[in-house]
Amino acid sequence: MEKRELQELFERVKQENLSLDETIEKCYQQQQEQDLDAFRKSLLSAVGIDEYAYYTREVYPPLKKHVEQDIFSEYEKNDKAHGIIHIREVIRRSFALNDTLRLHLDKNIIYAVAACHDWGKYLDHEHHEQIAANLFYADEKMKEFFSEEERTIIKEAIQDHRSSFEDIPRSDYGKLISSADRNTRVEIVFIRSFFVGKWRTPDRDIEDFLDYTYHRLQKRYSEENPENMFFEDETYRRFLQEMRTLLKDEVAFKEKYCEVNHIFSRKARMSDYPGVSLTPIEVYTIENQESFLRQKSKEVDFHDPELKADLACLEDYCQNHDVLAMAAVQLGILKRIIYLKNTDLNKIGDDNYDEGQILINPIMKSQEGLTEYWEACASCMDNTGLVLRPYKIKLEYQDETGKKHEKSFRDFASTVVSHEYDHLNGIFHMDVAEEVRQMSAEERKVFRESLGEKRGYKVYVKKGNYQALRDEKRK
């Protein structure tokens, strides 16, 4: 369906006083072109709704800022199955269930429970619910946001998020987080279980792990002994039916599992495969993740078991999107990594061109000369800025193996690399721009083309101290 058709469909359906999830579900039933996840993304994009921002719009701003700035970064330490992508999905599901089932629970408490429920899981998987509860309860900022009674409710809900039907949560908040923490897509179950398995048993044979996973999920989702789901909606019921159908055929199950996780040899070990992104990869933007993007990225540890997956995620996104380069932080990976796809001004628009260069732990050694260009950024919406950059820079960096290199980037390549290098330090191009204008992607394209053969890229001088030259130019 075209964007206009999706907008009109959404406007018709939303008049029926439905929750956002119910509205998406009803719109989905009236089209035949896409699966639910793809349709959800298309519909929300057409109507300009970011689900995270939509559901958390009434959350107390200082609470939200504290969580995004001080707690979300802690999830980098967890295995990828329990990282920030999972947490944001549990937050979304918690609010969606609250709205759809008309539970009328307090939104600040919902947010705190969902945002903190896997905090510190890397410390002890078996008792992580208690660790998360204790971290929340000891947090000084949380004491400012909630009363003692509310903090106790939140602590108990976090402790109860792994509850079963034999061990019923003590409050509706515990039931909600337990339900929101359940998976609702077969692909996500497969991807998350692979990350968990790789984290715990990296040397295990793939074939052995497939046998174990098939029998474990067969038991978990059986009709005789279903998993705990205290608040059930249509999304979950559809998922359960799909999973049970797949589990009836062990061969088909294993083939699907390998397909989803990009596993090509069952004779390999878990550690031989990086795993895939938990969701269609999306860029973090200043609209709802500015505090995260403002953080300084951390130096890469080459013993990090998730490094291969992080690099694959970054490479996958850049290869499949119209970008010149990307810093890992823009995809929610707070590590000092840059992927260079196109640093050649003459190759802009060439979909098949990909330099495929990865810079890990880059260090700026020198900056010379002065240039200017109207820069834009996937994370910065329509902000287009005229930025003064060095004509030549020299970087020291490491490649994927950890080997150190030193390389000079000149001309337009210097502009591209300098832009991404700033991202690693929490700096946006608008912060250093001489002028900022609001332009859509199409407006920006027309504007740059109007500036001549080099799309407005101008070299003032090729040598000399960059900072001195920039300061002189600004006078």
Q: Is residue 400 part of a domain?
A: yes
Which H or E run contains 360? strand 357-375
Please give the Cα distance from 426 to 350 (Å, whole number).
Answer: 30
- DSSP 8-state secondary structure symbol assigned to residue 369: E
Residues 240 and 388 in one domain: no
The verdict on 357 and 466 lying in the same domain is yes
Cβ neighbours, 10 Å, residue 5:
11
Cα–Cα distance, 96 to 103 (Å, whole number):
10
Assess whether 28 and 123 both reside in one domain: no
Is residue 232 within 8 Å of 179, Cβ to Cβ? yes
Token pair 């400012």 is found at: 144
**In a shared domain, residues 405 and 455:** yes
Q: How far apart are CA 385 and CA 5, in angstroms?
A: 34
Domain for residue 60, yes or no? yes
Residues 169 and 190 in one domain: no
Return d(Cα 419, Cα 326) in angstroms, integer: 9
pLDDT for res 330: 93
- C-alpha distances in Å from residue 137, one per residue of 56, 115, 121, 223, 362: 22, 13, 15, 37, 38
- What gap in Å lies between CA 188 and CA 276, rounded to an integer? 10
Contacts of 285 (CB under 8 A, 6+ apart): 378, 379, 380, 381
Amino acid at site 166: E
The enclosing domain of 429 has a CATH number of 3.90.45.10
Domain end residue (candidates: 158, 180, 202): 180
Q: How far apart are CA 405 and CA 423, in angstroms?
A: 21
What is the distance between the alpha carbons of residues 113 and 13, in angstroms, rounded to a whole number? 31
- At 277 the pLDDT is 65
Structure tokens at 264: 């090509």
Distance CA 95, CA 113 (A): 11
Q: Which of 308, 336, 305, 330 is nearest to 317 (CA)?
A: 330
By the 8 A CB rule, do 279 and 191 touch?
A: no
Look at residues 132, 163, 180 and tell me which one is the last residue of a structural domain: 180
Residue 279 lies in a domain: no
Q: How far is CA 390 from the centre of its chain?
A: 31
The CB density around residue 60, as the number of other CB atoms within 10 Å, is 15
Provide the residue count of the chain.
475
Same domain, 212 and 150: no
Cβ–Cβ < 8 Å for 275, 198: yes
Q: Which pLDDT score, from 0 to 100, does residue 32 have?
A: 65
| 192, 118: one domain | no
Q: Are residues 138 and 261 in the same domain?
A: no
Report d(CA 87, CA 190) in Å as an integer: 17
380 located within any domain: yes
Question: Quick check: is 253 in a domain?
Answer: yes
Amino acid occupying residue 276: V
Cβ 178 vs Cβ 170: under 8 Å: no
Per-10-residue mean pLDDT of the chain, 475 residues long, equals 85 85 88 74 83 90 92 86 86 94 96 96 91 96 97 96 77 95 87 86 93 92 78 89 92 92 89 71 80 91 80 82 92 92 85 87 97 94 95 96 94 96 96 94 89 88 96 91
pLDDT at 226: 72
How many structural domains does the chain have?
4
Domain check: are 370 and 355 in the same one? yes
246 inside domain: yes
Query: What would the two tokens of residue 178 be?
Result: 């337990």
The residue type of 459 is V
- Quick one: which H or E segment has residue 367? strand 357-375
258 shares a domain with 152: no
Same domain, yes or no: 74 and 132 = yes
Q: What residue numbers bound the domain in which 208 lies?
A: 186-272
Q: What is the DSSP string of 30-95?
A: T--SS-HHHHHHHHHHHHT--HHHHHTTTS-HHHHHHIIIIIGGGGGGS-GGGSHHHHHHHHHHHH
Residue after which a domain boundary falls, among 244, 272, 300: 272
- Helix, coil or strand: residue 415: helix
Question: Which CATH number is 138's domain given?
Answer: 1.10.3210.10
